[in-house]
Structure 1
Amino acid sequence: MINMNDIMETITMIQEENLDIRTITMGISLLDCCDGDIDRSCQKVYDKIYRCAKDLVKTGEDIEKKYGIPIVNKRISVTPIAMLCGASGGDPVKYAKTLDRAAKDVGVNFIGGYSALVQKGFSPGDKDLIESIPRALAETDYVCSSVNVGSTKTGINMDAVKLMGGVVREAAELTKDHQCIGAAKLVVFCNAPEDNPFMAGAFHGPGEPDCVINVGVSGPGVVRSALSKMPEDADLTQIADKIKKTAFKITRVGQLVGTEASQRLGVPFGIIDLSLAPTPAIGDSVAHILEEIGLEQCGAHGTTAALAMLNDAVKKGGVMASSNVGGLSGAFIPVSEDAGMISAARNKTLSIEKLEAMTAVCSVGLDMIIIPGDTPSEVISAIIADEAAIGMVNSKTTAVRVIPAVGLGEGEELDFGGLLGNGPVMKLNTKSPAKMIDRGGRIPAPLQSLKN
């Protein structure tokens, strides 16, 4: 039985509350593109991506027209390219340029997977790829990169953490004439999921099918609107219940789009990532949800508790709506991409220390945070280590995407445009962690890793 109230409610969500499908991402395995000759391997990579994804954008557009649901991005994720580098040798940037060309030719917004998984050490090809990341991001337009440096099972590879501090700095420096955008396309993970459809951290894990469709749903504006209609005296149990029911409805929309895209493209439907992914648009902010719950401004005391409740309620509602929930799923807190976060950072209500506390209870980590351009690489490494430790000990995904604003200091601003938004340079603790970072080695896995 078609319920007209449900239909009208969904239309309102789309037209007035910024509900959208943030991305449909096609994951493509490139393991069969390995070759001892890097040029032959690159050609195989291009041919497979084009063959699998040539109809992806048109399919997304057709589904948009059929249901009236905006699908903001169409993207591709591929097998971590470091796995191919180990077989082929040569300059890894050739792979990056191949990915970029394929992305342009099929018309997607981004392609992720210029990645390495080094949580327990470096395999052949890993270091070559990691050291090439700044150049690869500077010489391409659509390529995104990620490196997994730790996990609950393995501990934290501190040699990789040290290396990534310098890589993040260099990525910003090589793109300083373009708002340091290179660092905005680079994520450092702990416990990276293999099926994440969101950039810049998407890659197609080695345990995934040959080709799959993953969907990322977003709806901070819908959740905020639902909470704004509740009585002023509603308690937090009632608030959590309303968030859960709203997340259920949002996830149902993603299930519909994912199922349709899978059938049209003839590839398996993988997962729905039901994350609340904000944008710089007014009314599409996770920070504003927290303020609707009752905070004067995001970053005030109580923010971590409110975010924990929001994240948990979103997941509970989502898993009731779909058996395919995966990826990151929960609430994102990218500073430059969230109008409420930007405002709180400008007012200095929100500090990087408070953001770090918030990452213990949300879906990702320190995301899209602009830091002073003269930040030493060892400080960036230490930020990565802190965040990886939170993920490792709490058996959750955490990540770091910080952008050193080359030539700028605290309070000045970068503007990336589009979904990446803009924001102020945030203050960092300047005391040096260099001695600890230089020690290298591996922080051992925690006791909770012994689950067998």
Structure 2
Amino acid sequence: MLNIFEVNETNQMIEQEKLDVRTITMGISLLDCAAADVDTVCDNIYNTITDKARDLVSVGKSIERDFGIPIVNKRITVTPIALVGASSCKSPADFVKIAHALDRAAKEVGVDLIGGYSALVSKSMTPAERMLIESIPQALSQTDIVCSSVNVGSTKTGIDMDAVELLGHVIKDTAVATRDNDSFGCVKFVAFCNAPDDNPFMAGGFHGVTEGDVVVNVGVSGPGVVSRALDAAKGKDFEFLCETIKRTAFKITRVGQLVDQEASKRLGVPFGIIDLSLAPTAVAGDSVGEVLEKIGLDQVGAPGTTAALAMLNDQVKKGGIMASSYVGGLSGAFIPVSEDKNMIEAASNGCLTIEKLEAMTCVCSVGLDMIAIPGKTTASTISGIIADEAAIGMVNQKTTAVRIIPVEGKDVGEVANFGGLMGYAPIIPVNQTSCEAFVTRGGRIPAPIHSFKN
């Protein structure tokens, strides 16, 4: 059993090394909210969320107060809305009504974000799923804290290229709809391959259909803690380095375990998972890029970056898995450009390019994350980037994702400001050579051979 003495051991991490619990996320099933009338669905959704999550924020604050552990965000994930609205929504505008209901309910209970305005279309799209996807620009531009995701592929099913092609236009339209705020709507959207059902992080969090009625998941952070620990590993060999990262990840995850247990007990909700990802911020000393540089790179993006990230990701998982019985979500190391001070600097001076970032996604927890690109980038180019990233996930049997922001009205060398945890990002160049004939072929890229593993 965890106790307060284990938390006391982490006081230095919290006070000096920026350790925090990035989020307590309550997952809520909305399957029983389905009805024939969309207004009834909206009422059902609002009532369900405000009932089940009414104590989430107050419980999070009480845990912060009692244990001295910063909990940065309190969030909600819900059943993919394409499923919930399928019986009632006859147009994209009907789905937008549901987005507004989610926004109202989330604000009523006081959470920071709500995820699950989502569709799972890894093989093909139903009419309802297509309507939800088409509604995303309007939904994200008209709401404040609703987050959206679309899973376009998986190792078992292949990649739905019709959905990939459509998402290029959706992202462009979302950028235009929120152009007055550096195309911020795109910050709240992510395209996935192999999306997990229990991810507590946004924008890709949703409450999967394999989940129960309600659950509480926790996402921990701590790149600053790992960075400080690596000061003792300077000049040492890889065995010492790996052991240092692994031991540190264990301690970080134990804090998350305690918070999840306490939240579960106080809310009367089942314990879900700990996502032990290293999630950076744009604040100095809280950077995954800094960790990679302390491993031995002059700057993140240099040759050796992918190998260093692979080692970091593996050791984080090896250390964290021993600290909790239920590790899930994404778990590992995030590399969001706009949310990481050292990544921002490397992208600004050209050391870190989108091609290098794509290589790094082969070994990290997610994918191309929080990358600002020129607003003039075509929809087909964005679709091609999504297809490339989905292929990496499909073939390597891992989660990959794309959260990319074509900042309307801005070009290479300018900066987009997103605020808060989302940080800021330099607009970086993208290969503009056309791939339109590829992404508009229609149909599905088949799954790789997997039958021999059955």
* TM-score of the aligned structures, taking structure 2 as reference length: 0.98
Indicate which of 152, 155, 158 corresponds to 1:149. 152
Q: Distance in 2 between matches of 1:119 and 1:3?
A: 43
1:24 correspondence with 2:24? yes
**Partner SS, residue 10 of structure 2:** helix
- 1:302 corresponding residue in structure 2: 304
Whether the 8 Å contact between 1:153 and 1:449 is mirrored in structure 2 is no
1:359 equivalent in structure 2: 361
1:4-23 correspondence to structure 2 within 5 Å: 9-23=9-23
1:339 maps to 341
**Corresponding residue for 1:159?**
162
Distance, in Å, in 2 between the alignment partners of 1:111 and 1:7 is: 29
Q: Give 2:182's aligned residue.
A: 179
- 1:221 maps to which of 221, 224, 227: 224
Partner of 2:83: 83
- Alignment match, 2:253: 251
1:134 aligns with 2:137: yes
Kindly provide the amino acid, as one letter, of the partner of residue 205 in structure 1: G
Unaligned 5+ runs, structure 1: none
- Bigger drift between 8-17 and 239-248 goes to 8-17
3-state SS, counterpart of residue 150 of structure 1: strand
Q: Deviations over 1:172-212 (max 9, x none)?
A: 11000012110010000000000000000000000101000
Supply the distance in 1 between the matched residues of 2:429 and 2:451 (Cα, whole angstroms): 34
Pairing 1:280-299 to 2, within 5 Å after superposition: 280-299=282-301
Separation of aligned partners in 2, 1:202 and 1:216: 11
CA distance in 1 between partners of 2:100 and 2:54 (Å):
18
For residues 228 and 257 of structure 2, what CA distance do their matches in structure 1 show? Answer: 22
Q: 1:13-412, aligned counterparts within 5 Å?
A: 13-90=13-90, 91-230=94-233, 232-412=234-414
Q: Which residues in structure 2 correspond to 1:424-439 (within 5 Å)?
A: 424-439=426-441
1:244 Cα deviation (Å)? 0.6
Q: CA deviation at 1:2?
A: 10
Distance 1:433 1:68 in 2: 52
Q: CA offset at residue 309 of structure 1?
A: 0.1
Measured in 1, the distance between the counterparts of 2:169 and 2:451 equals 29
| Pairwise CA RMSD | 1.4
Whole-angstrom CA distance in 2 between matches of 1:192 and 1:3: 33
User: Which residue identity is paired with 2:30?
Assistant: L
Given that 1:393 and 1:448 are in contact with CA atoms closer than 8 Å, whether structure 2 keeps it comes out as: no
User: Separation in 2 of the partners of 1:115 and 1:420?
Assistant: 21
C-alpha offsets along residues 72-109 of structure 1, whole Å, 9 cap, x if unaligned?
00000000000022111241001000000001100000
Identity of aligned residues (%): 64
* Native 8 Å contact 1:85 1:126 kept in 2: no
Find the aligned partners of 1:449 and 1:198 in 2 and give their Cα distance: 32
Partner deviation per Cα, 1:308-346 (whole Å, 9 max, x = no partner)? 000000000011000110000000000000001000000
How many angstroms apart in 1 are the aligned matches of 2:449 and 2:244?
Answer: 37
Bigger shift: residues 390-399 or 5-14: 5-14
Give the drift of 1:440.
Answer: 1.6
Pairwise CA distance, 1:448: 3.2
Q: Distance in 1 between matches of 2:431 and 2:60?
A: 45
Alpha-carbon separation, structure 1, partners of 2:176 and 2:128:
24
SS state of the match for residue 199, structure 1? coil
Alpha-carbon distance in structure 1 between the residues aligned to 2:9 and 2:262: 21
The aligned amino acid for 1:240 is C
Distance 1:350 1:125, change over 3 A: same
Deviation at 1:123, TM superposition (A): 2.1
Q: Give the Cα–Cα distance (whole angstroms) in 2 for the partners of residues 251 and 449 of structure 1.
A: 36
> Could you tell me which amino acid in structure 1 is paired with residue 259 of structure 2?
V
Q: Which amino acid aligns with 2:311?
A: M
Equivalent pair of 2:153/2:394 in contact (CA under 8 Å): yes
CA–CA distance in structure 1, aligned partners of residues 146 and 81 of structure 2: 12
Q: 1:7 to 1:31 in 2, by over 3 A?
A: closer
Q: For residues 2 and 368 of structure 1, what CA distance do their matches in structure 2 show?
A: 35
Contact 1:133-1:167 within 8 A present in 2 as well: yes
| Paired residue type of 1:165 | G
Q: Which amino acid aligns with 1:26?
A: M
* Partners of 1:137 and 1:276 in 2: CA distance: 27
Write the letter of the residue equivalent to 1:123: T
SS in 2 for 1:86: coil
**d(CA) in 2 for partners of 1:184, 1:61:** 26
- Whether 2:453 is the aligned partner of 1:451: answer yes
Between the aligned partners of 1:23 and 1:5, the Cα distance in structure 2 is 22
2-side partners of 1:207 and 1:4: how far apart? 33
* Distance across 2 between alignment mates of 1:120 and 1:158: 9
TM-score normalised by length of structure 1: 0.98
Q: Which amino acid aligns with 1:127?
A: R
What letter is aligned with 2:174?
A: A
Q: Distance in 1 between matches of 2:95 and 2:141?
A: 14
SS in 1 for 2:87: helix
Does the C-alpha gap of structure 1 residues 66 and 303 become closer, same or farther in structure 2, counting only changes over 3 Å? same
Cα separation, partners in 2 of 1:449 and 1:360, compared to 1, 3 Å: farther
SS in structure 1 of the partner of residue 173 of structure 2 = helix
Structure 2: runs of 5+ lacking an equivalent: none
What's the CA shift for 1:267? 0.7
